[in-house]
Structure 1
Amino acid sequence: MVFEGSSVAISHTGKVRSNNQDSGYSGANLFVVADGMGGHAGGDVASSIAIHRMEPLDQVYASTDDAQASLQAAATTAAGDLIRAAKERPELAGLGTTLSAIIMVDDYAVIGHIGDSRIYLYRDDALTQITADHTFVQRLVDSGRITPEEARYHPRRSVLMRVLSDMDADPELDMFVMHTQPGDRWLLCSDGLSGVVDEAHILKAMRMGAAPGRTADNLLKQALDGGAPDNVTIVLVDVGGQHAISSGTPTIVGSASNPANITIPAARSTLSNWLHPVRQAANEPSHFEPAPEYLEELIEEDRRRAKRRRLGWIAGMLVVLAMLGVAAFAAYSWTQTRYFIGADDDSVVIFQGVQQNIGPITLSTPLRDTDILLADLPEYQRLSVERTITARSLSDAEAIVARLQAGADAITSQQTQTPLPTPVPTPTEGAG
């Protein structure tokens, strides 16, 4: 049965690179994205070889098993082509490509994947990443050593662990089959999109419900607005749904759309490299498939980086704690320049500090007990002392105490000058 759906394929060089090493294919039953690697020309050749080896798979299959077998066989043939290309043209040594493909068989999607291009499924208002990146940083994420957010900005995020290349005649693809249903939307893309536009914004574009062409244009615009440092390739596939069924006429985009014109550029002069450093950097490989010993070096480097992060975090915390300690000491020192008058049991006391406490920490200490009894003070002075009286300085506190002493003396003097009442004689029994 021919797949019933609507699809689109677009590819863009991006804002930094001078050539497009991506390739994409959208047909009747086959949908593919390939992201080439290997320098200015090697990536072009690699992704083109992969796409043109995939093209014959765009047909009707009797079963998903047949489709899987054909997909694996085509990938193996493509790897052989890459090996031969590197032998015949030594300047292409190190070329390779990612490959993410879907073959629609009845109500199923047969998926083959290697590298860090991605396949997403938008279903029931949710976006799910179907493929796993075959990258060094993804291993770090899987092992819990870094978070997915840290992986987006990790300096080794382009180091590939598995890829179609001239180094492996028997590539290991992730192969699996998923049931698909009307209304599903499948997105295949190179990391030129997924590395710039996060899943939240991809999901927002999907939710708009526009046709595949408009949705792909929207996603491409977001990648370009984000700087598009790499080539961007998007293949979007709708299963049934509201959009018109496509004719199935194959669409090939990127370097595979014009493979005959791929040429090896002459080496740039030192002066040209100096005048155009950004353009030179743009033509460096966007991916790198490392040798095993290099991976060991990367793992050790990542351990050192993690250790430096921990030491930096600890040092930062110590600096913050030190600053808090200095601030706390300065604040406490300021409180010790303040004074107030208060009560301690039954007498008036001069306190150094402020009246507030911080939890169990007391910000004041008794400086001098004045020996003025609260009971000797007038009522209004006694209440003021019990509520505490703030002093501007120690001399001000002494002046306040002097006034309290005067008040106490006045009360004592009044009590001394007041005559005692004359006792009334008690009548004696039998007096005549």
Structure 2
Amino acid sequence: MGGATYTMSLRVEVEYMTHRGKVRSNNEDALLIMSDVIQKEEMADLQRVVFEGNSFVFAVADGMGGHKAGEVASRLALDYLALNWLSIESADSIDRCIQEMNLQIVKEALMNLSMSNMGTTVAGILICGSTVWVFNVGDSRVYGVHEDELRQISKDQSLLQALIDEGTITVAQARQHPLRGVLLQCLGGGLEERKVQTIIKQFPLDEYDTFLICSDGLTDALTDEEISDCLFYSKKSMLGCLFEKYMKAGATDNMSAVLVRVREKVAKGSLA
């Protein structure tokens, strides 16, 4: 006698947006929503999409280098991730993928010396079944919500974070520091083929049910407390609230953000 077999499928609700801000002439950020790389000067409206399945990837890359080079770097990085994320199955394979993303940017710079200094940050999450990996290079961030508390999961690879860690300056002092934005790690950033130091953290998926991935255009404009207020107390969508505050704060840099909510597990069955 046949019986029913069931597999568990995750339902993931995603909101995302990107904007060049009020000061910059172009937007050097890029977003990865599953296998789609999104790069626009700005979005008129917040975008929403729902996915069901067992594996998901979302990321933000913040390019640098000027004269369109930053746009190229962020696009190259996420294009490679978009094509290869389905083969990732461990922290080691994430690191290998990011090393190759770095190599793709360096190779392009060697072929076009006008872009010799182009580079990019990257931050994102990879969900595979009941496991989530959070990864970053540079100062783009990933936050998670745990027991109604917003926590930064990623680790800024910046000069100011190093000074904070050693107790030289406070977080409040860092927000006004003249060396804000100086990175210790990035993808590309020169013509040398070097190994990138990737930060990778692994968690059981039930430890966090909501993730925010964003470029420093958002976190330089808003404090963690202001971000948390939008998540827990705003009557608007979280990203809508964040965008409004970002614009009011001056929007001096490009801003990109992806909000990921793991809402429920869907049982899918079939008769044996």
Which residue number in structure 1 is paired with residue 253 of structure 2? 230
- Select 2:66's aligned residue among 39, 43, 51: 39
Which residue number in structure 1 is paired with residue 153 of structure 2? 130
What amino acid does structure 1 have at the position aligned with 2:256?
T
Shift in Å, 1:210:
6.6
Contact 1:120 1:131 in 2 (8 A): yes
Which residue number in structure 2 is paired with residue 351 of structure 1? none
- Select 2:101's aligned residue among 67, 78, 90: 78
What amino acid does structure 1 have at the position aligned with 2:210?
R
Which residue number in structure 2 is paired with residue 8 of structure 1? 15
Q: Which has the larger radius of gyration?
A: 1
1:1-400 to 2 correspondences below 5 Å = 3-27=10-34, 29-59=56-86, 66-165=89-188, 166=190, 167-181=192-206, 184-208=209-233, 214-240=237-263
Tell me how far apart the structure 1 counterparts of residues 96 and 262 of structure 2 sit (CA, whole Å): 26
Q: Secondary structure at the match of 1:69?
A: helix
Tell me how far apart the structure 1 counterparts of residues 262 and 84 of structure 2 sit (CA, whole Å): 19
**Which of the two has greater strand per residue?**
2
Shift in Å, 1:168:
4.0
Higher relative contact order (CA 8 A, sep 6+): 2
Shift in Å, 1:40:
2.6
Shift in Å, 1:82:
1.1
Contact 1:182 1:240 in 2 (8 A): no
Contact 2:134 2:153 in 1 (8 A): no
Shift in Å, 1:56:
2.5
1:26-71 deviation per Cα after TM superposition (whole angstroms, max 9, x unaligned): 225001010001113111000000111111244386xxxx242332
Structure 1, 161-170 or 38-47: larger mean CA deviation = 161-170
Shift in Å, 1:2:
5.2
Tell me how far apart the structure 1 counterparts of residues 216 and 82 of structure 2 sit (CA, whole Å): 22
1:212-262 deviation per Cα after TM superposition (whole angstroms, max 9, x unaligned): xx3212211211111010000001100115xx99xxxxxxxxxxxxxxxxx
Which residue number in structure 2 is paired with residue 398 of structure 1? none
What amino acid does structure 1 have at the position aligned with 2:209?
D
Distance 1:50 1:2, change over 3 A: farther
1:253-282 deviation per Cα after TM superposition (whole angstroms, max 9, x unaligned): xxxxxxxxxxxxxxxxxxxxxxxxxxxxxx
User: How much is the aligned-residue C-alpha RMSD, in angstroms?
Assistant: 2.2
1:10-36 deviation per Cα after TM superposition (whole angstroms, max 9, x unaligned): 110111001000111122500101000
Q: Secondary structure at the match of 2:256?
A: strand
Structure 2 length normalisation: TM-score? 0.81
Tell me how far apart the structure 1 counterparts of residues 138 and 97 of structure 2 sit (CA, whole Å): 16
What amino acid does structure 1 have at the position aligned with 2:29?
D
**Which of the two has greater helix per residue?**
1
Q: Secondary structure at the match of 2:86?
A: coil
What amino acid does structure 2 have at the position aligned with 1:126?
E
What amino acid does structure 2 have at the position aligned with 1:11?
T
Shift in Å, 1:9:
2.0
Count how many residue pairs are aligned between Structure 1 and Structure 2. Answer: 237
Unmatched runs of 5 consecutive residues or more in structure 2: 1-7, 35-50, 267-272
Tell me how far apart the structure 1 counterparts of residues 114 and 93 of structure 2 sit (CA, whole Å): 31
